[in-house]
């Protein structure tokens, strides 16, 4: 996601009504627990000082929730690609947030910090979500080791019926259907311009941004999508480039595995041919951890 489009998602979820609605769907099964007027947008600059973290690594959206009976700091990180560094990064984000709160007077009880990684890419999140799964712990001390787990929510698996905010409902519903190739369900669906822009970014369909113009505040998703699909040679060229990249990845994976094993079984060859870009990348990333075909199947499953 580019810096030019990144602000669209941040600005969308900095709206306290949308943020509260999304968090209620994720954390409370859609119950109206977090109220918009109980939320206050926090400034990442106050938490992530230069010597610790760069501008590009700051929080996407972070808010203080001061409920009648609860208080917490809630953060949202939008992630369009599987990132194996996300566990340590999110741990650092939360630790720095705690550290900032700890500068308050003695005996001040720290508010709970929770980060939600909102995965909106194609496929499934395959990276580890537990710190101990990413760390080589010496034998004998694992039981005494502290673990830390990251909260990953796949937007495609989020039940959009739990969302009461109209824009949130439209975004989550549309993103899931686009990635699942269920565009027929767009018939009769109207979305706002704000929602259309976020749908474009979350599904990496930046051509949508060029069509979100004019004075109308809402647009029919079906005719809108048909305009995109019929936009001509450019999309076909993009699909061709993606297919060429995947074909190259398949060839490289097979070459590496032949070097390791000598020959590949027909079953494994077919599994490679049926795999998507994300899983093929994971094989290359973990090539030095592969010792037999079983290891490959675990990565490709």
pLDDT digits (tens, 9 = 90+) for 68-126: 888 899 999 999 888 888 898 899 889 888 888 887 666 678 899 999 999 998 889 99
Q: Do 223 and 229 meet the contact criterion of CB atoms below 8 Å apart?
A: no
The answer to whether the Cα torsion of 288, 292, 293, 299 is positive or negative is negative
Residue 240 and residue 288 share a domain: yes
Identify the pLDDT of residue 52.
47
Strand extents, DSSP E, 11-70:
39-41, 61-66
Q: In what order do the strands lie in the sheet with 151-154?
A: 39-41, 61-66, 71-79, 112-119, 151-154
Instruction: Tell me, yes or no, whether 248 and 206 share the same domain.
Output: no
- Look up residue 67 and give its two tokens: 């409920």
**Domains identified in the chain, total number:** 3
* Contact assessment for residue 226 and residue 37, using Cβ atoms and an 8 Å cutoff: no
What end-to-end distance do the CA atoms of the chain give, in Å? 27
pLDDT given at position 61: 93
Q: What is the pTM of this model?
A: 0.71
Domain end, chosen from 185, 211, 231, is at 231
Last residue of a domain, one of 128, 157, 186: 157
Residues 188 and 262 in one domain: no
Answer for the pair 207, 235: CB distance below 8 angstroms, yes or no: yes
User: Residue 177 belongs to what domain range?
Assistant: 165-231
With tokens 């998507």, the residue in question is 276
Q: Looking at the structure, do residues 203 and 274 belong to the same domain, yes or no?
A: no
Report CA-CA distances (Å) from 2 to 9, 56, 80: 11, 10, 11
Residue 6: predicted pLDDT: 72
Domain end position, chosen among 231, 261, 280? 231
pLDDT digits (tens, 9 = 90+) for 13-55: 999 999 999 999 999 999 999 999 999 999 876 555 444 444 4
- Judgement on whether residues 24 and 138 belong to the same structural domain of the protein: yes
């Amino acid at each position: 996601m580019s810096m030019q489009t990144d602000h669209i998602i941040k600005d969308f979820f900095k709206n306290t009504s949308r943020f509260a609605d999304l968090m209620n769907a994720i954390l409370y099964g859609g119950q109206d627990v977090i109220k918009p007027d109980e939320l206050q947008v926090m400034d990442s600059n106050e938490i992530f000082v230069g010597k610790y973290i760069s501008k590009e690594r700051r929080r996407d959206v972070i808010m203080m929730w001061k409920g009648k009976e609860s208080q917490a700091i809630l953060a949202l990180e939008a992630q369009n690609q599987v990132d194996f560094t996300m566990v340590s990064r999110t741990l650092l984000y939360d630790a720095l947030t705690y550290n900032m709160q700890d500068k308050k007077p003695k005996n001040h009880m720290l508010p709970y910090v929770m980060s939600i990684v909102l995965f909106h890419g194609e496929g499934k999140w395959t990276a580890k979500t537990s710190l101990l799964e990413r760390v080589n712990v010496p034998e004998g001390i694992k039981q005494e080791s502290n673990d830390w787990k990251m909260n990953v929510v796949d937007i495609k698996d989020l039940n959009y019926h739990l969302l009461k905010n109209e824009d949130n409902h439209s975004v989550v519903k549309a993103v899931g259907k686009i990635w699942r190739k269920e565009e027929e369900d767009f018939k009769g669906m109207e979305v706002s311009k704000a929602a259309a822009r976020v749908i474009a970014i979350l599904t990496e369909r930046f051509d949508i941004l060029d069509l979100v113009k004019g004075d109308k505040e809402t647009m029919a998703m079906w005719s809108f999508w048909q305009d995109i699909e019929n936009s001509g040679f450019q999309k076909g060229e993009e699909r061709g480039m993606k297919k060429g990249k995947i074909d190259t990845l398949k060839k490289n994976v097979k070459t590496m595995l032949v070097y390791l094993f000598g020959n590949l079984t027909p079953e494994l060859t077919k599994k490679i041919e049926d795999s998507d870009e994300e899983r093929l990348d994971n094989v290359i990333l973990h090539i030095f951890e592969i010792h037999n075909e079983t290891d490959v199947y675990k990565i490709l499953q």
